Amino acid sequence: MLDHRYRSQRAPINLSEAIIPGLCAGCGARHIGLCDALSDEDLHFLASVSRPLTVQKGQTFVVEGDAARSFFNINHGVAKLYKDMPDGRRQITGFVSAGDFVGLAADSCYAFSAEAIQEVRMCRFDRTELRNVFGRFPAIEQRLFDFASHELVVAQEQMLLLGRKTAVERLASFLDGWHHRVSHAEDSNSGRSLPMTRADLADYLGLTIETVSRALSSLRKLGIISVAADHGVSVLQSTRLAEIAQAAGSSSAKIQPMA
């Protein structure tokens, strides 16, 4: 239902549950919206239209402009989606991780490229079979619809960020969002707090790496985050971070050190 909170649907996903042997080896069906037991026939059908796929860090698995034949559901790891301009300018439009779908926002050709920033495991579906999959498993269609709706909300939020927020506000918004994302994910991430580089951050936030670095320093000097020796970022004061992200605090709050 559209009325569902997206988070509440996303939270219960547990990749270790409901693994169905033979279907996308090592990847369950629960995360694509199938929670009930499936018949042998269903399993056979699913296996015929989907394949497991693992891509290594740095590998591009979707190229903007290519014919959109596949459709992916991420099982593990993080990938970046981006668009490039002829002169090299790049905009990362999002980071996808476990449970997310990739390839929805496509015409007959992909409108974006996708590259793994960690090893990524996923299911690849044949797009020409998508209608058939929907017909057999309405739960998948519903899940996809909810995912798309949520993506639109996120995209609008990102437009506000890119169009109207300052560098520090952009960073704070991102860190706040990522913080929630990983804290909700059961598949809690490995050691490093942020899997993406400063360059990725810059391309996501519409900034340069230098400005990202400076904005991180600002937040660090305010005592809101800490930056580890390996450049990993930890949130120390999530409330103040959120206030800066939404420009919600009193105007003077922005320049108060430590408290």
Partner DNA sequence: CTTCGAAGTTGATATGAATCAATGCGAACA
Partner DNA sequence: TGTTCGCATTGATTCATATCAACTTCGAAG
How near is the Cβ of 64 to a second copy at its closest, in Å?
A: 10
Residue (56 or 166) nearer to a second copy, CB? 166
Task: Work out what residue 41 binds among DNA, a second copy, none; the CB cut-off runs from 5 to 8 Å by kind.
Answer: none
Site for a second copy in 146-165 (CB under 8 A): 148-153, 155-160, 162-165
Distance of CA 183 to the CA centre of its chain: 14
Binding flag, residue 199, DNA (CB under 7 A) = yes
Binding flag, residue 247, a second copy (CB under 8 A) = yes
> How far is residue 28's CA from residue 17's CA, in Å, rounded to a whole number?
7
Element (H, E) at 120: strand 120-126
Binding flag, residue 177, a second copy (CB under 8 A) = no
Residue by residue, what is the 3-state secondary structure of 6-72? HHHHHCCCCCCCCCCCCCCCCCCCHHHCCCCCCCHHHHHHHHHHEEEEEECCCCEEECCCCECCEEE
How near is the Cβ of 255 to DNA at its closest, in Å?
A: 11
Task: Work out what residue 211 binds among a second copy, DNA, none; the CB cut-off runs from 5 to 8 Å by kind.
Answer: DNA
Binding flag, residue 83, a second copy (CB under 8 A) = yes
Binding flag, residue 130, a second copy (CB under 8 A) = yes
Using CA of residue 161, residue 162, residue 166, residue 172, what is the dihedral sign?
A: positive
241 token code pair: 């971070």
Binding flag, residue 226, DNA (CB under 7 A) = no
User: CA torsion angle for 172, 146, 25, 119 (degrees, to 10)?
Assistant: -20
Residue window 29-68: x/- pattern of binding to a second copy, with contact defined by CB under 8 A: ---------------------------------------x
Site for DNA in 147-186 (CB under 7 A): 166-168
Strand partners, 225: 235
How near is the Cβ of 208 to DNA at its closest, in Å?
A: 4
Strand partners, 72: 102, 124
Overall size of the chain counted in residues: 259
Q: How many CB atoms lie within 10 A of CB 153?
A: 10
Binding flag, residue 210, DNA (CB under 7 A) = yes
**Cα angle: 149, vertex 201, 217; to 5 degrees:** 125
Interacting residue ranges for DNA, rule: CB under 7 A: 166-168, 197-199, 206-214, 216-217, 227, 229-231
Interacting residue ranges for a second copy, rule: CB under 8 A: 1-6, 68, 71, 81, 83, 85-87, 89-91, 93, 104-108, 111-112, 127-128, 130-131, 141, 144-145, 148-153, 155-160, 162-165, 203, 205-206, 246-248, 251
